[in-house]
Structure 1
Amino acid sequence: MNMITFFIVGLVVHIVFFVSIFDIYFTSPLVHGMTPQHVPLPPPAKRLVLFVADGLRADSLFRPDVNGTIRAPYVRSIMEEKGTWGVSHTRVPTESRPGHVALIAGFYEDVSAVAKGWKENPVEFDSVFNESKHTWCWGSPDILPMFAKGASGDHVYTHTYSAENQDFASTDASKLDTWVFDEVKAFFSSARRNETLLSRLHEDQVVLFLHLLGIDTNGHAHRPMSKEYLENIAYVDAGVEEIVSMIEDFFENDGKTAYVFTSDHGMTNWGSHGAGHPSETLTPLVVWGAGVQTAQKVTAQDFEDQLLQEWNLEHLRRVDVSQADIAPLMSSLIGVPIPLNSVGALPLHYLDNSEHFKAESMYANSIQILEQFKVKMAQKKETTLSFLFTPYKLLTESRQLDFVRKARSLIQQGKYDEAIRLCKAMIAQALQGLSYYHTYDRFFLGASVVVGFVGWTSYVVLVILKTHASLRKPHSHRDPVSARSLWRVFVCAALTIIAFLLVQASPWTYYIYCLLPVPVWYSVFKEFGTLADLMNSAPSLPLSKCFGYFVLVILGIELLVISFFYRAMLTVGLVVLSGWPVVSQLYTQAKGVSLSWALGCLFLATFPLMPVVGREPNVHLVTCAGSLTLLTSASFLWLSRRRTPLQWRDCQLCITQMVHVALCAYVLNSTHSSLKVKQGLPIVNQIISWTTLASSFVVPLLSSTRLFQRLLSISLSLVSTYLLLSTGYEALFPPVLCWLMFVWINIEQEAMHTQGISNKLGLSSFDFAENIDITKIRQLKLDDIRRSYFFVFFIITAFFGTGNIASINSFDPASVYCFLTVFNPFVMGALMMWKVLIPFVIVMCAFEAIQVSTRLSSRSLFLIVLVISDLMALHFFFLVKDYGSWLDIGTSISHYVIVMSMTIFLMLLSIMSHVLTSKRVHVGWRRKTHFT
């Protein structure tokens, strides 16, 4: 198998392994075909008004300021007198779309749905809006359309402003809320003159939804503790009061309007959201109006935290809910069926109604969830052989019938409390049953993926031993009969698997996961001769040294795995690596390079100890990063000049790039200064930023392909872009990483010299563009395992050096302010992804240089890297959780996805790094002048 074929096959295999995690853990929990459940009693309200203050934290609303002044006096008065309040507990990811889906549809949107689209509605799901007779919505174009497109019929009407209005550099983001309030006022004003609209508004089961984005935008731009954020809360409070007064006046105080005020997610102190910090997951909930329990005075609470005292609310009963519980609450208030896909449980403490009504509502809630369970069970039963099907024992068909009969009987007998307790227990069991059937095939699919994974890794190891290791290979004859028998065995296995999946009517993706191990293991067994060669060569191998390397690599992999949970382990690893020259005795032969290596490792070791989230922007550190880049670049330029003469054009290009780095540092300072005084993003700065990003892919191709000159040009180009995407200390990371990578290249050359296989001319003689004589490419040595591990370690350090899972989820828009300030999730996400990849590219280019300078084929070291990465991925596959908190489950899955993505990215980035290092674009004149 040639390299291109191997690369394509490897890429396909890893993509299959990567996608498998979505079929195993990220499949949509939604089912269809359920019957809507109606409550036979009249509802207390004819209409519902839903206020969602996007990005509003619970403590920001409830806590008085330092002077004891209440920020939201109107909402506070509702809590004190007219309504019931509590905290709504959200789930991660704490983003606007999943939060609104939980609020209005009653289920927690799975990652597969989010990945299919942001502004559109990628999956069909029911919602309170869909079940209503008429719904009018005002607010963001990112949220409203998905509920309109998911509704059946034409009864959800949306009014949105332009996406350009969501500008983080706006002088006053509360104008987004002003737009909503003004549009609602104009709507009711026009309704008085429009008989059709007036008639619709006076019908039953009407919903009015006001999406208020100003608080979220101000939080991103100025932080939640800022004057802008807190003043926006007061402005929303006044707006809500005005809208409520207007609605009550419009409907002549008929007492048939229910109001819900809440938030989709909170926000961290540093202005981001997406992860599971309490400031992101604790949101306010205040409900009042028709059918809602009025404020209840209490002397003791069930909550023992200090928040009630800080909020001065220990005298009012607090009723907490899960965010998905709000959908059944809204449905119950206006008498519409609970959304079919809802997993929320009706919070009865919010209702002010008869016990009969509460019991009927809980009964409808339990039947609605039970209907989902029945559909899920039927689907799984139809696609599983009868003798293999194992039903959920706590909720068999007979127990379902018993529950329905008993619950209905208790309600008819007037034993409402018992009926409610029974329904709550039923809801809990049905939700567990839904999870059981949703994960029914998880073990089967997981086992198939693991078998394929182990087979692939074994095959790669055999390829390394066969083609790149110096084994004693005795002449052997392959038995054609055995080869044909092996082929027949695996063909029979494949046919058996296909027949089994056909009988069960399995999805087409199951065929891929289950059949992939067949050709993989066939390839492994075909290379049985390589194992025999290894056994024959064993007496001549340094077994103790091999065992030592094996143990060290396993320990090293474990360290990298632990670093995903504790970034400080990278610091431990870098400190250990700093002492490598002493252990390997390189220090005695190359003291200067060894000292630089130790210092580089120790400086880089400080970054994993830094906070990844919760920091305030510090553009002065970015300026320092620019200065450090210029200093180190000048040093390497001087050293390179001493090693080999530079053409004037290359020197001119390098100096130009250094000036450009200084310009980028100035642009960042200028941009943040302009935004601070609310003058917006200067157009010149924006042009320079986008030009820098575009040119970063091209400018390195203009430089010399000699090793140090090309690497210096790549580093300057990437660092200049990174500076524009930085807000604090993380800007120092690429310059330090570049320094260590340059030293790594040098110290590996010294290590080769100690083995007597170093190039006599040194690194200055290497040119990325030159074709290496294949006769000079050496076989793999045990020390190459260490080089490959170093590469994987630096790749993980490049990823986690300044961030972790929480920091990636907690996106900070300030990082992209040099490029744009108008909210655009796709462009912003792409810019942040490139920021994450820049350190990867730096390490990849250094690894390319090491492969060239150590006279190894590009395939050799990368195969070892592939094995190490796959062992990590397999490790994380076993660490995936399907129990515990949603955050724990999501984080464990994220680790696997990251490692698999890293492996795929490395395969693609290896091509990119090869182009960046070895290709050159000749533009204009060529001058032979040398700079010496």
Structure 2
Amino acid sequence: MRGGDGILGVRSSARSPEANSPKIRTQFLGRREKWLVILGVALHAIYMLSIFDIYFKTPIVHGMEPVTPRFSAPAKRLVLLVADGLRADKFFEPDSNGSYRAPFLRSVIKERGRWGVSHARPPTESRPGHVSIIAGFYEDPSAVTKGWKANPVEFDSVFNRSRHTFAFGSPDIIPIFCGALEHSTWNSYPHEYEDFATDASFLDEWSLDQFEGLLNRSKEDVKLKQLLQQDNLVVFLHLLGCDSNGHAHRPYSTIYLNNVRVVDQIAERVYNLVQNYFKDNSTAFVFTADHGMSDKGSHGDGHPSNTDTPLVAWGAGVRPPVRTFENHHHENTVRFVDDHVHDMPTPADWGLNGFERQDVNQADIAPLMSTLVGLPCPVNSVGNLPLGFVNLSKPFKPLNDYSFVLDQIEHLISISDYEAAKMLSENLRSLALEGLHYFQTYDWFQLMTVISLGYLGWMVYLMVHVLQEYTSLPRKFFQNDQSVYLQTNTKKIYFLGCLLMGLVCVILLVEHSPPLYHAYFAMTIFLWVRIFREYRFLRALWSYMLGKEIRYFAKLLAKLLASFIVSVFVLEILVKSFMDRKIYTWIFLIIGVFASVYLQYSMPWGSGLPVFVWLACWFLSIFTLMPAEIPDNTKLVVSSGFMIVIIGVASRYLDMYSRESKFWLSLTHEVQKSKSNIIFLFQVLLVAFSAVMVPLSTYRRTEKQELLVLHQVINWSIAGISIVLPLFSPTGLLSRLTSIFLGFAPAFLLLSIGYEAVFYGALALALMAWILFENAYLHISQTSKSSSSTSAMEDDLILESNERCLRLSDMRIPLAFMVFFNIAFFGTGNFASIASFEISSVYRFITIFNPFLMAALLIFKLLIPFMLVVCTFTAITKMVKVPLLGCYFLVIICSDIMTVHFFFLVRNTGSWMEIGNSISHFGIMSAQVVFVLLLFAVTTLYTKHIQIRSSKRHSRKHM
């Protein structure tokens, strides 16, 4: 409730006498702020989807008929082997003894087939990779919103065109492509088989056993045997072992490297089974991988370790090896719409420089398979047929359009000028891909303009709300002009808004625009209508500034410009930090020096507090110099547990013995010692116990043993109990924040694998430095104002019983929050990269593959540092007595300034890593409004009862 000379009191009294009621005032504020939050969530959700319409539209194929090949199929059947998560270098390179891990497939490369590197495109995940291999196109990134499980746009595939498809493998892949396919026979193992604590190569053996069992059953099943003798058949074996072992043990581990040998043996056994069963030499074989694996055991981004996968093809229709007599490197000259050219020389230790290499884009594998088995190319395919792989007497022509160019091609074919026909076909294909790119970006300017105006309108509307509800401006305006908050006639504004929206809707309907286009325009128009509705307030603001003396006006304008420039400068540095996280090292080195120098004005160096702030900031600056790929270091995690205990004990000591110090006055609170001591000791014991459980749980995994049920129960219990305990801790600022810090520490330790556990303690120390700085700033400002004139107190109007109006200098709090919030993003890795999630950190809680629970644990670990930042931010607003929601809205404005910048940095050209990172940067910032809101809702449980201690000497009554 806001009373007295509060903002709402001014507005309500101007509108109606009845509005002075406290009940009415409280309900009004609640409704408006809830409305703003809902509007913000909806706006960011809708606008975040706009990048898919602007940059990455997937064409929906209507009425396009498949093109039947005009040649006899060289193969009756195709065997596709996909080793999930197999890196190209680990497949081709020798081991430490100089022996190659895939002797059979190397013999294929040298004696009967072709080889190369298949270049995947981000996101390098299993579902998009298999879509690219089997369907020949790069899936719409919006498929991630459905968890890579459902098709956002139905597409054609090699499996669809086959007479029958036999598929065996993972339950996460096989049902996606064969679950609704009537002409298919498939099976998958249960999810429980995917245990990261064991060697997962047995999953590959399972797929082989299923295929072998199929051939054995056909000896007694006449119908099955007849089906197997047909043409246009596809056999698909999904081999998940390398992916699971890469996640659990890393791609340089013995288990992963041995799994490479296993898939090579499976390829040999499949080849022998097929040759012995069919005996017609009419089978084509393709061996590849959907994506690779980074050194840290993850994938998803555009790093070569994730995009470079092996490709080996042999059998019917495949060209034999081509020998080269010099260090020859075949550059992949086939480009996709991003004009990306792969140029990775063949390493000498692969031992394959004497055999011609044919690199392909991953989408090129689909037309290759279709050609080999004589199937129409999938109609969604954007792949190019890699002619270096096929051995045909006639050129392949997947064209079916009657145009002048095609007539020329037909003529060239009729006169047997195949080379000229091939060149003309490639030119036409390039034009078709350029047309596809044009279609994908057709509405670029229109949508960019609308979305940009929408973001600008949202920020202006939010700023108007902050000025109206959380500053002293309304009182000053009301004194000069009582018509500022009179109920205005907004019917004309709404009528013009509806008229404009109706006109836009008609135009969009005529152009057959998607429904989301209507949402983009409607949101933008609605926001600007709401802004024009506040024209009386904006007019009063302008008149207020112009009505001041020139000296005062110049001073006010200078303050506004300085605040704006500093804010934008800080936010632009944060934007740059998404590309180079080492920027935070310089930020905290500089902050440490300036903050400690500032503190000496209220806290002498002899107190040790300026030195503490200096060292805390410098300690935190170390972590953004460390590698994003966190190395395993169990001893460091255990040591971090005891460091956390020491920090908690030191904080507890200060809380108990520094109550009367002017430096700690606002941070301490009277507590019931017996109760608080028991809770504190229990929390310390849980942190120490979790540090002990870290090596015990890790030992089981390193020994390739299942995690004991007892260990799982203990770990879950420690994490769960410790999170609840802060709710019962004392309500003093320092007491409650210390309890929150200790409460989340056990869960964070159990989810840590290396130096990120140290980062948790370093972040807490830096947050304490922030609190000390704000405490000193409060002390200095109160001392300076006590000697100033009473007119200078106008800005301290009471909003609520414990709050004052926001001032321009309070902008430092949202900016500091943005810095700490982003260091929580990047302090232990590159959160903006898809591949930064360290899945091995969940193995102390669960080892059986469960994507939803594992993802939940990963997200929870990443949220813990953010929760510390948000709890500290909330406590500081209470200590400084500024409105939390007002500061929250300023945080959202800062976030949206960065969001707009990232919106213009989204790319659909260049390297695939650049494309993926630009999307993730925009997505992270756009979702931050919802993300921060959810964190505030959760942390309110811990911070709503925090009480700030004050004395008569350090407080003054607001008038």
TM over 0.5: yes
Distance between the aligned counterparts of 1:482 and 1:421, measured in 2? 69
Q: How far has the Cα of 1:281 moved from its partner?
A: 1.1
Which residue, 473, 477, 481 being the options, matches 2:483? 477
Q: How far has the Cα of 1:146 moved from its partner?
A: 0.6
1:555 is aligned to 2:561 = no
Q: Which moved more, 1:21-30 or 1:132-141?
A: 21-30
Partner of 2:913: 887
Q: How far has the Cα of 1:798 moved from its partner?
A: 0.8
- 1:582–1:658 distance in 2 versus 1, CA, 3 Å: closer
Superposed CA offset, 1:646-676 (max 9, x none): 4322221121111111121222211111111
Partner of 1:574: 588
Partner of 1:34: 64
Aligned partners of 2:135 and 2:378 also within 8 Å: yes
Which residue, 204, 210, 216 being the options, matches 2:231? 204
Distance between the aligned counterparts of 1:513 and 1:305, measured in 2? 43
Aligned partners of 2:578 and 2:832 also within 8 Å: no
Which residue, 91, 95, 114 being the options, matches 1:84? 114
Superposed CA offset, 1:500-524 (max 9, x none): 2232232222222101122211222
Partner of 2:611: 595
Q: How far has the Cα of 1:831 moved from its partner?
A: 1.4
Aligned partners of 2:303 and 2:913 also within 8 Å: no
Distance between the aligned counterparts of 1:77 and 1:707, measured in 2? 70
- Any residues of structure 2 matched to 1:671-686 within 5 Å, and which? 671-686=697-712
Partner of 1:763: none
Distance between the aligned counterparts of 1:810 and 1:94, measured in 2? 13
1:836 is aligned to 2:850 = no
Q: How far has the Cα of 1:74 moved from its partner?
A: 0.9
| Paired AA for residue 840 in structure 2 | A
Q: Which moved more, 1:460-469 or 1:555-564?
A: 460-469
Which residue, 426, 446, 449 being the options, matches 2:451? 449
SS of alignment partner, residue 35 of structure 1:
coil
Q: How far has the Cα of 1:314 moved from its partner?
A: 0.8
Partner of 1:159: 187
Distance between the aligned counterparts of 1:733 and 1:816, measured in 2? 18
Partner of 1:351: 390
Which residue, 209, 214, 221 being the options, matches 2:248? 221
- 1:117–1:225 distance in 2 versus 1, CA, 3 Å: closer
Aligned partners of 1:844 and 1:913 also within 8 Å: yes
Partner of 1:507: 514
Aligned partners of 1:705 and 1:919 also within 8 Å: yes
Q: How far has the Cα of 1:258 moved from its partner?
A: 0.7
1:605 is aligned to 2:640 = no
Q: How far has the Cα of 1:645 moved from its partner?
A: 4.2
Q: Sequence identity, in percent?
A: 40
- 1:694–1:34 distance in 2 versus 1, CA, 3 Å: farther
Aligned partners of 2:832 and 2:920 also within 8 Å: no
Aligned partners of 2:178 and 2:186 also within 8 Å: yes
- Any residues of structure 2 matched to 1:171-186 within 5 Å, and which? 172-186=199-213
Q: How far has the Cα of 1:867 moved from its partner?
A: 1.4
Distance between the aligned counterparts of 1:72 and 1:352, measured in 2? 25
Distance between the aligned counterparts of 2:106 and 2:286, measured in 1? 14
SS of alignment partner, residue 286 of structure 2:
strand
SS of alignment partner, residue 138 of structure 1:
strand
- Any residues of structure 2 matched to 1:289-308 within 5 Å, and which? 289-300=315-326, 301-303=328-330, 306-308=345-347
Partner of 2:23: none
- 1:19–1:757 distance in 2 versus 1, CA, 3 Å: farther
Partner of 1:236: 263
| Paired AA for residue 145 in structure 2 | A
Partner of 1:62: 92
- 1:590–1:853 distance in 2 versus 1, CA, 3 Å: farther
Distance between the aligned counterparts of 2:59 and 2:731, measured in 1? 53
1:640 is aligned to 2:655 = yes
- Any residues of structure 2 matched to 1:474-553 within 5 Å, and which? 474-477=480-483, 484-538=491-545, 539=548, 540=552, 542-553=556-567
| Paired AA for residue 226 in structure 1 | S
Distance between the aligned counterparts of 1:780 and 1:516, measured in 2? 29
Q: How far has the Cα of 1:437 moved from its partner?
A: 0.9
Which residue, 361, 367, 374 being the options, matches 1:328? 367
1:616 is aligned to 2:631 = yes
Q: How far has the Cα of 1:67 moved from its partner?
A: 3.0
Partner of 1:191: 218
Aligned partners of 1:319 and 1:349 also within 8 Å: yes
Distance between the aligned counterparts of 1:505 and 1:693, measured in 2? 53
SS of alignment partner, residue 70 of structure 2:
coil
SS of alignment partner, residue 93 of structure 1:
coil
Q: How far has the Cα of 1:150 moved from its partner?
A: 4.9
Aligned partners of 2:329 and 2:356 also within 8 Å: no
- 1:680–1:409 distance in 2 versus 1, CA, 3 Å: same
Superposed CA offset, 1:832-882 (max 9, x none): 111111111110000100111111122221222121111111111111123
Q: Provide the alpha-carbon RMSD of the alignment.
A: 2.3
Q: How far has the Cα of 1:536 moved from its partner?
A: 4.3
Q: How far has the Cα of 1:450 moved from its partner?
A: 0.9
Q: How far has the Cα of 1:27 moved from its partner?
A: 4.3
Distance between the aligned counterparts of 1:863 and 1:871, measured in 2? 13
Distance between the aligned counterparts of 1:776 and 1:716, measured in 2? 28
| Paired AA for residue 691 in structure 1 | S
Aligned partners of 1:28 and 1:113 also within 8 Å: no
SS of alignment partner, residue 210 of structure 1:
strand
Aligned partners of 1:665 and 1:723 also within 8 Å: yes
SS of alignment partner, residue 780 of structure 1:
coil
Partner of 2:645: 630
- 1:150–1:757 distance in 2 versus 1, CA, 3 Å: farther
Distance between the aligned counterparts of 1:98 and 1:516, measured in 2? 32
Distance between the aligned counterparts of 2:434 and 2:152, measured in 1? 26
Q: Which moved more, 1:593-602 or 1:551-560?
A: 593-602
Distance between the aligned counterparts of 1:590 and 1:512, measured in 2? 58
| Paired AA for residue 595 in structure 2 | P
Q: Which moved more, 1:16-25 or 1:204-213?
A: 16-25
Superposed CA offset, 1:726-771 (max 9, x none): 11101111211122222322321211110117999xxxxxxxxxxx
Distance between the aligned counterparts of 1:481 and 1:530, measured in 2? 11
Distance between the aligned counterparts of 1:431 and 1:99, measured in 2? 20
Q: What stretches of structure 2 of length at least 5 have no aligned partner?
A: 1-27, 331-342, 660-669, 787-797, 947-959
Distance between the aligned counterparts of 1:698 and 1:32, measured in 2? 56
Aligned partners of 1:119 and 1:145 also within 8 Å: no
Partner of 1:138: 168
SS of alignment partner, residue 755 of structure 1:
helix
| Paired AA for residue 657 in structure 1 | Q
Aligned partners of 1:121 and 1:150 also within 8 Å: no
SS of alignment partner, residue 319 of structure 1:
coil
| Paired AA for residue 610 in structure 1 | M
| Paired AA for residue 571 in structure 1 | T
Aligned partners of 1:324 and 1:342 also within 8 Å: yes
Aligned partners of 1:54 and 1:96 also within 8 Å: yes
| Paired AA for residue 197 in structure 1 | L
Distance between the aligned counterparts of 1:294 and 1:339, measured in 2? 26
Distance between the aligned counterparts of 2:229 and 2:780, measured in 1? 89
Distance between the aligned counterparts of 2:78 and 2:509, measured in 1? 49
Which residue, 348, 373, 376 being the options, matches 1:309? 348
Aligned partners of 1:571 and 1:605 also within 8 Å: yes
- Any residues of structure 2 matched to 1:40-59 within 5 Å, and which? 40-59=70-89
Partner of 2:21: none
SS of alignment partner, residue 612 of structure 1:
coil
Partner of 1:15: 45
Partner of 1:914: 940
Q: What stretches of structure 1 of length at least 5 have no aligned partner?
A: 371-399, 761-771, 921-932
Aligned partners of 1:46 and 1:203 also within 8 Å: yes
Superposed CA offset, 1:401-460 (max 9, x none): 112211222212211111111111111111121121122123222211111110111112
Given the two structures, how large is their TM-score scaled by the length of structure 1? Answer: 0.89
Which residue, 718, 723, 732 being the options, matches 2:758? 732
| Paired AA for residue 502 in structure 1 | L
Distance between the aligned counterparts of 1:808 and 1:719, measured in 2? 25
SS of alignment partner, residue 136 of structure 1:
strand
Distance between the aligned counterparts of 1:62 and 1:751, measured in 2? 62
SS of alignment partner, residue 350 of structure 1:
coil
- 1:161–1:585 distance in 2 versus 1, CA, 3 Å: closer
Partner of 2:746: 720
Which residue, 156, 169, 174 being the options, matches 1:126? 156
